[in-house]
Chain A
C-alpha cells in the first residue's frame, strides 16, 4: 500500500513556502521524509513517530495526523538548495514503503 503524495510537482521562487502531503490507507506508525537531488541518493530529513515525537532537520518541519493517516512536510522561506524530489516513507516497524515523490523546483 504505497502512500500517495501531493502535489506531484511544484515550482517556487526563492523565499516562498511549500507544503507536501503524504496520505496512507493504513494506520501509521512512523513517517519518514527524504530529499533526493538529481543523480544522487535519497538523504534522510526527518522522522515523525506515533505519539508526536519528531526527530530530524532543524530548518524543515512536519506534522503527523494519526486520525487522518496523513503527514505534511513544511518548507518555509525556500532556498535554491531545497530543489529536489521529496519522498515520504511509511513504516509499521517493517521496511519503509515510499511514495512516488514530489518534485520541488526553486527558482531565483
Chain B
C-alpha cells in the first residue's frame, strides 16, 4: 500500500545511547516532516524538509539531527538520548509544505529512554 513507512515501531534506549529513526514515502511527495507527540501537547514539529536537499528546524529541534537522503527518505537521529526524548515520533509527508492535499503520517515510533 502507498504511504509512509517508519522503522522501528518500538524502541527502548538507555540515557546517552544514540539511534536513527527511518522514514520512507512512496507518494513522490516533495516535503517531509518529523513530529513528536506527548500527552496533552499535540504534535510538535522537530525538523522538516521542504524539498530534496533542504532541511530546517521546527519548534523543538534540540537534541536531534536529520538527513534527507533522497526524495523518498528522511531520517531522524538522536545523538545522545535523554529521558525528555521519551515520546511518540511521527514522520509525515505532503506534496508541498502547505499540504494542499493533506499530510500523510507514518504509523509512529514509540521511544522510551530510561
Cα separation A54 to B36 with both chains bound (whole Å): 28
Give the interface segment out of B14-22, B40-48, B66-74, B75-83.
B40-48
The answer to whether A91 and B41 touch across the interface, beta carbons within 8 angstroms, is no
Contact A100:B102 (CB < 8 A) given known A41-B107, A94-B97 = no
* B-side interface size class: 20 to 34
- Work out how many contacts link A and B, with CB atoms closer than 8 A: 67
Contact A44:B103 (CB < 8 A) given known A30-B98, A95-B97 = yes
B interface: dominant SS: loop
Contact A56:B102 (CB < 8 A) given known A40-B107, A94-B97 = yes
* A-side interface size class: 20 to 34
User: Which residues of chain A in 43-93 are interfacial with respect to chain B, using CB atoms and an 8 Å cutoff?
Assistant: 43-44, 46-47, 49, 55-56, 87, 89, 91-93
Using CB atoms, name the residue of chain A closest to B41: A100
Q: Does A106 contact B (CB under 8 A)?
A: no
Contact A47:B102 (CB < 8 A) given known A87-B43, A95-B58, A98-B42 = yes
Q: Does A97 contact B (CB under 8 A)?
A: yes
6 contacts between A and B (CB under 8 A): A29-B98, A41-B90, A42-B90, A46-B102, A89-B43, A100-B40
